[in-house]
Amino acid sequence: AGGGVEGQQGPDDSRRWKQQSRTRRRDCAGGGVEGQQGFDDSRRWRVNKALTTLDVGNCDLGQRHFAVLAEALKANMSLTTLKAQFNNCGPGGLAALAEALKVNKSLITLDIRSNKLGPGDGIVLASALKVNQSLATLDILGNKFGRADGKALWEALMVNTTLTTLNVARSIFTDRMHTLVANCLDQRKAIRSAEAQPEEAEAKAEGENKVGAVAMAKAAAKAKANAEEAKAREAEAKA
């Protein structure tokens, strides 16, 4: 912390990244990651099959860094959580991320709070949500979206079937749009809960049927054993 990771050979060795643990927090507090050759090499992110959570929040990342992340997300199929809050994604970085979300099938949680996004960026993000079928949680709190962005995101939710949590607090939507988005997600959660109940009941019934079948099999086996034992005693008595 403090000096960032400038000049560190460790993070720039892609072999270490391939073998690293499932969760990684980039050591970039204070000094940022500007100028890192290692970060700009997206090949290590593409081939890593163990990493599931990446936290690069508050790392002074710019648009080109988000472009690197986006390129990696197009190929990486293990990462499920990307925390990139409090950076400077900007329009260019978001456009790259949006294209990546259209093809990525593993990312479940994306946090891009307070990333200096503005009017029009929500429309770009909405276009990705209409295609993406893996993202369940999206946090875009604290960005300066406009009314058109809110409308586009709401329309995207009419198409997207996987997103259940969308944090748009302090994003300068109108109150009405906040309400529409919230109601849409609440209805989706209610529908999913209702759909899950019959499946749970069916699974429970199936489990009970299996238990009953096992009990019947044991009873039949015991009756057969008793019959054979009685037959043996009868034969012994006759002898």
Q: Could you give phi then psi for residue 166, rounded to 5 degrees?
A: -135, 110
pTM greater than the 0.85 cutoff: no
pLDDT at 96 over 80: yes
- The per-residue pLDDT for 35 is 38
In a domain, 217, yes or no: no
In a domain, 212, yes or no: no
CB contact set of 123 (below 8 Å; sequence gap of 6+):
148, 149, 152
Whether 82 and 54 have beta carbons less than 8 Å apart is answered as yes
Q: State the total domains in the chain.
A: 1
In a domain, 82, yes or no: yes
* Cα within 13 Å of Cα(114), Cβ side: 7
Residue closest to 87 by CA, chosen among 67, 57, 111: 57
20, two tokens: 């690293």
In a domain, 200, yes or no: no
Q: What CATH number has the domain bearing residue 90? A: 3.80.10.10
User: How many Å apart are CA 157 and CA 182, to the nearest integer?
Assistant: 11
User: How many Å apart are CA 120 and CA 126, to the nearest integer?
Assistant: 10
- The per-residue pLDDT for 228 is 72
Query: Residue 114 carries which DSSP code?
Result: S
- The per-residue pLDDT for 239 is 61
Q: If pLDDT is split at 50, 70 and 90, which confidence band does 221 have?
A: confident
User: How many Å apart are CA 79 and CA 47, to the nearest integer?
Assistant: 11
In a domain, 131, yes or no: yes
In a domain, 211, yes or no: no
Range of the domain at 88: 14-173
In a domain, 31, yes or no: yes
In a domain, 92, yes or no: yes
- The per-residue pLDDT for 207 is 61
What CA–CA distances, in Å, run from 2 to 8, 27, 59, 154?
13, 9, 11, 41
Helices 147-159 + 175-238 axis angle, to 10: 20
Whether 190 and 213 have beta carbons less than 8 Å apart is answered as no
The most confident of the ranges 41-55, 61-75, 184-198 is 61-75
